[in-house]
Amino acid sequence: MTDNVSSELREVERQVDNEFLKNALMSEPFAQAAWHFFAHFEDHFARQYVHAPDDELHYHALADNLINHSRWALKWLSSTCPPSNRKPPAYDDALYSHAMQLSELAMDYGPFTAAYTYASRGLVSLFLEDSRIRTSGPMIDDAQYEAYDHALMNKADSSVLDGFDPSFMEEVHKSLRVRGHSFDYSLNPKIVQRAVESLGPTIDARFSLPDDWTFAMFTLDDFRRVARVLFALSLIHFSSRLSAALVGCPGNGIARALLLMESNELLDRLTRYSGIKRSTIIEIVQMLTYGSSGQKNADPALQPLIKLSASFIAISPNLLMNSSIERNLSVLLNRLPAERGGYTALSNTKEQAMISRLKAELSGLSFRFWSGCITRWATASEVDLAIICDDERRGLVLELKAFTAPADPREVCERSEEIEKGISQIRTRKAAFAAAPQFLFYALGIDDTYTVSWAVVSETSIGAPYVQDLTIPVVNARHLIKRFRKDGTLAGISSWLENRSYLPQEGVHYRRIPREVRVGKWILDWYFFEVLADDYISQ
């Protein structure tokens, strides 16, 4: 196959890929290096809550950015640092400084990986001018669809620190003791149970898959019960750190930035607090441990339990609390050979769940619904969902896509192929309808006085610009539901879809700002988004 990237640019890529080796953390034991990286990670959130606790928009952007770039830093550390001994990590100013530099490098490295991934697929063109890489191409020239996904997915989960009853923390705070640069607090089943109950609505809102799904090692209900405890432990620890900082703990309590436990202690606590049998806890902890289960391209967002050594496991509270945990579980299960087949079979029901949710959300409006197969259509005969309004004499035929949201450029391309398939299916159905409309009329109980519109609805991403068809709109499901609640008519919704009014407007809802990204001596022309509308999808 022909490489879309020149040999000169491939050499630049090699140098960029190896830049991390210059960081002094690479010669430190893994426990010390990883601990300091995540201590720096946690400091971003501690400062956010101290200085701008009500800035939810900045908080979401901060969490998204930090979680995304942590994968590179931890990959470098785990592949390079020597193993660690049993001694727990201790804070060191010099190592913290190196961690800060590594974090900055990882942030800048991300755009380089995006540029090269898209360039390898012919979606971005790279031009080398001295030490600068110029960029152009479909993924650069039309940012509207990426901005749409960015706006919708950043609003998908509220912070676990929002909307819970903090009264359970009173007992924790009473037990708080600051000792030198460190602090301690009481942790017992009663406190954890109250935390789980208080956080319940916020955490449960992150789960949509059926409780009775059973995998090779556990049920989805087992996983959720363990996840609730992990969220509670993380919240208790982070809140205790903030309280310790307020009463003068040096360094804002950075000496205990991470929740650090011996492996057996974590297993014991999860067993005691969740009520799940220990053998199941062991399986779930093993799966969630960074780099386990043969994950060569491990990601701490997917596996947030960091095994610093044979004895200690670290949890970065804000990495865990700000994760889309069900989405991450879905991605992880698809990477595990023992689970992939079962998950694929079960995930076929996700579209049915999406149909049920759309019907439930629109049940208060004067619509009828139909799903089924139009056998006289030779191809693409299955209609996921049709919404009919007899008063308006209108119908809206939807193709539904329920896949996990993309987390990196490679996944953006893969999910875009799914959207392209959905667009093709709608295109085929429109052609069949134009040739023989009576079959759809009969199925929907309508006639030729009705106006029929068409669209693809995605639970997550609407795909990259290069797969779009200007005659077939693709919209996010949550956005569509919000619009139905605001408008309530099929005529209004159809016009909104067909005119692409759902897409954000540059200069109104977002701004794409050119950005120079530097790794070593190499400079990449890239960009980032600035959100101009706080709640775009409600407008």
DSSP codes, 84-140: --SSPP---HHHHHHHHHHHHHHHHHHHHHHHHHHHHTTSSEEEEETTEEEEESHHH
Query: 26 near 76, Cβ under 8 Å?
Result: yes
- Tokens standing for residue 253: 């309590």
Q: Quote the CA–CA distance of 177 and 195 in Å, as a whole number.
A: 20
- What pLDDT does 347 receive? 62
Report the amino acid identity of residue 461.
S
Query: CB-based contacts of 303: which residues, under 8 Å, 6+ apart?
Result: 287, 288, 289, 290, 291, 292, 295, 332
Give the residue carrying structure tokens 């009481």.
Answer: 186
| Alpha-helical segments (H) within 384-465 | 409-435, 438-444
Q: 10 Å Cβ neighbour count for 154?
A: 16
What order of strands is seen across the sheet that includes strand 474-476? 368-373, 382-389, 394-401, 451-458, 474-476
Query: 56 near 159, Cβ under 8 Å?
Result: yes
Strand partners, 398: 385, 455
- What pLDDT does 156 receive? 44
Q: How far is CA 519 from CA 18, 96, 106, 409, in A?
A: 10, 20, 9, 19
DSSP for 349-371, please give it.
Answer: THHHHHHHHHHHHTTTSS-EEEE
Q: What is the pLDDT along the chain (539 residues), one digit of tens a residue?
A: 678 999 999 999 999 999 999 999 999 999 999 999 999 999 988 877 766 555 554 556 667 778 888 999 999 999 999 998 777 888 999 999 999 999 999 999 999 999 999 999 999 999 999 999 999 988 888 889 999 998 887 554 555 556 567 777 888 888 999 998 999 999 999 999 988 888 877 777 777 777 777 888 888 899 999 999 999 999 999 999 999 988 889 988 999 999 999 999 999 999 999 999 999 999 999 999 999 988 888 999 999 999 999 889 999 999 998 888 887 888 888 888 877 776 666 666 778 889 999 999 999 899 999 999 998 888 778 999 999 999 999 999 999 998 888 888 998 999 999 999 999 999 999 999 999 999 999 999 999 999 999 999 999 999 999 999 999 999 999 999 999 999 989 999 999 999 999 999 999 988 889 999 999 999 999 998 887 876 666 66
* 470, burial (CB in 10 Å: exposed 0-12, middle 13-18, buried 19+): exposed
- What pLDDT does 212 receive? 76
Angle formed by the axes of helices 263-274 and 220-246, nearest 10°: 110
Report the candidate in 451, 477, 474, 351 with the shortest Cα–Cα distance to residue 396. 451
The bridge status of strand 177-179 relative to strand 182-184 is: antiparallel
Query: 420 near 464, Cβ under 8 Å?
Result: no
Q: Quote the CA–CA distance of 229 and 233 in Å, as a whole number.
A: 6
Measure the CA angle with vertex 403, ends 462 and 396; round to 5°.
Answer: 55
